[in-house]
Amino acid sequence: MIKILIICIGGSLGASLRYLVSLKINESHNTSFPFGTLVVNITGCFLIGFLWHMSDHMNISENLRLFIFVGLLGAFTTFSTFGFESHNLFSNSNNNLGILYIAASNLFGIAFVFFGLILSRNIFRV
């Protein structure tokens, strides 16, 4: 149960940080391009790579890893996890799986956003 609490605390902080960073960046750019989300995703990818390598070379507890990687960065951006998992596939010479994972994640992700919108419109007629 303590692990869940640790993840919840990290997740709460990560989600709050995502909102604040994205808000501040979008406020500073007067455009419809989602700069805030882009910066959050790129920052999250950098942090997961940097901190994962660092944690492999330091004595970091499992609870701290859960707090950082599952909670904080997981809520800050799941794109960081996607980037890290893609990297792992290519690093382990699973190039075909890496390409498949990237393609499937993007294509299905976008397709299911449209599917969800269409389904909701048809159900609620709004």
105, 72: one domain: no
74, 104: one domain: no
pLDDT per position as a tens digit, 44-103: 999 999 999 988 889 899 999 999 999 999 999 989 889 999 999 999 999 999 999 999
Q: Is residue 101 part of a domain?
A: yes
Query: Burial of 87 by CB count in 10 Å (0-12 exposed, 13-18 middle, 19+ buried)?
Result: middle
12, 69: one domain: yes
Name the pLDDT band for 125 (thresholds 50, 70, 90): confident
**Rg of the chain (C-alpha set):** 17
Segments forming the whole domain that contains residue 123: 93-126
67, 30: one domain: yes
User: From CA 53, how far away is CA 51, in angstroms rounded?
Assistant: 5
Please count the structural domains in the chain: 2
pLDDT per position as a tens digit, 19-33: 999 999 999 998 888
Q: Is residue 83 part of a domain?
A: no
Q: Is residue 88 part of a domain?
A: no
Q: Is residue 31 part of a domain?
A: yes
pTM: 0.78
48, 8: one domain: yes
13, 71: one domain: yes
